[in-house]
């Protein structure tokens, strides 16, 4: 949907294992985001990136890492340091033009990845 793909749809992690969630967009958006959604809660920002080779921590970055080597791709790694990784992970993108700087952009979300711990 909206030119953003996430894979896999479901992911299982074993104890002590790092797993990587994929996010790709073909909307030519500069900014990309990772959110975590838990039942009964809103979306919490993990990391965001405004431009290639640059990214910033969000509210709950501990136990996660990201990279932004290409404009189209913003993979998220859930490391073994994340003690409670079971959640629905959503990737989003938005244009970073004047609209973003003025805070008037729209975020387009991918279909999400459900991560479960075995």
Partner 1 sequence: GQQVMQIPQYQHVQEGEDFTTYCNSSTTLSNIQWYKQRPGGHPVFLIQLVKSGEVKKQKRLTFQFGEAKKNSSLHITATQTTDVGTYFCAGRNDYKLSFGAGTTVTVRA
Binding site for partner 1 (CB under 8 A): 1, 35, 40-45, 59, 90, 102-104, 106-112
Phi-psi region of 83 (alpha: psi -120 to 50; beta: other; left: phi over 0): alpha
The residue among 16 and 40 lying less far from partner 1, judged by its C-beta, is 40
- Tokens 């033009």 -> residue: 97
The residue among 30 and 109 lying less far from partner 1, judged by its C-beta, is 109
The DSSP output letter for 70 is B
The residue among 19 and 90 lying less far from partner 1, judged by its C-beta, is 90
Least distance from C-beta 90 to partner 1, angstroms? 6
Rounded distance, CA 98 to CA 89, Å? 28
């Amino acid at each position: 949907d909206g030119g953003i793909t996430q894979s896999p749809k479901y992911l299982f992690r074993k104890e002590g294992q790092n797993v990587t969630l994929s996010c790709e967009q073909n909307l030519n958006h500069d900014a990309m985001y990772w959110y975590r959604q838990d039942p009964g809660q809103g979306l919490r920002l993990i990391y965001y990136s405004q431009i290639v080779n640059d990214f910033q921590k969000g509210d709950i970055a501990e136990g996660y890492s990201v990279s932004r080597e290409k404009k189209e791709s913003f993979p998220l790694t859930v490391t073994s340091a994340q003690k409670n990784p079971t959640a629905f992970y959503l990737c989003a993108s938005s244009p970073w033009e004047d609209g973003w700087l003025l805070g008037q952009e729209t975020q387009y979300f991918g279909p999400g990845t459900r991560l479960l711990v075995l």
